Amino acid sequence: MTNIFKRVADTISSDLHNMMDRKEQSNPVAALNQYLRQSEQEKEKVRQLLDRQYKLKNEYTREYHLAQDMANKRLKQAEIAERANEMDMHEFAMKEYEDYQGRADRLKASREEVVQQLNMLEQKYEDMKHKLKDMHLRRMQLMGRENIARATHRINQVVENTSDKPFSRFEEMEQYIENLEYKVNSAYYRSTFDSKIAKLERELDEQAKS
């Protein structure tokens, strides 16, 4: 049963990834934005690693100074014991000195290695920031070009449409209004025709009587 659920989940996940891939292919700017967001996240992770490397360097430095101070202290104590002819104390102090000095030497070497790695990381981090900045500027240029292209496309659509269809509709409306005016005028003429004839008839009768 678990395997079935896993296969279903994998299928759904694969379909989602395919859908996102198709969407990104249809919208390159969206894909670029997604890539830049991921790059910014990676940059933040690198910065955190740099912070950890700084702390590691400081820790090595602190431990190195502690070990070196103890080595110097034991060496001085060994010299005092030797002058006092306390050979047991001299031997103990020398053994401690060798241990501390060996530790200090190892810490110093490790610290130098960490410093070199830190310098390399800092340089790569700066290069990464510059490249990301350049990509952001490039994205702004591409977005500007996309805006111009979209605006030009919409303007062309409006201009092309106004050259044919809208004007033909204006002509249809004008013809419709002319027909309507003709019908109104014709109906008015017919409605007043009888009264005009009656008036003419009365005028002719009055002229005949006079």
User: For the segment 59-100, what is each residue's pLDDT rounded down to a tens digit?
Assistant: 999 999 999 999 999 999 999 999 999 999 999 999 999 999
pLDDT confidence bin for 177, thresholds 50/70/90? confident
Distance between CA atoms of residues 50 and 132, nearest Å: 18
Average pLDDT over residues 26-42: 79
33-40 long-range contacts (CB < 8 A, ≥24 apart) are 33/139, 36/132, 36/135, 36/136, 36/139, 39/132, 39/135, 40/132
What is the three-class DSSP state of 161? Answer: helix
Average pLDDT over residues 1-23: 51
pLDDT, position 7 = 56
According to the per-residue pLDDT averaged within each range, which of 27-31, 123-127, 165-169 is highest?
123-127
pLDDT, position 65 = 96
pLDDT confidence bin for 164, thresholds 50/70/90? low
- Structure tokens belonging to residue 122: 């800092």
Tally of helices (H runs) and strands (E runs) in the chain: 4, 0
Higher-confidence residue of 9 and 65: namely 65
Tell the burial category of 66 from Cβ atoms under 10 Å away from its Cβ (0-12, 13-18, 19+). Answer: middle
Closest among 113, 101, 106, 107 to 59, alpha carbons compared? 107
Higher-confidence residue of 30 and 136: namely 136
Tell the burial category of 53 from Cβ atoms under 10 Å away from its Cβ (0-12, 13-18, 19+). Answer: middle
pTM comes to 0.52
CB 57 within 8 A of CB 118: yes
The distance of Cα 105 from the centroid of its chain, to the nearest Å, equals: 48
pLDDT, position 11 = 55
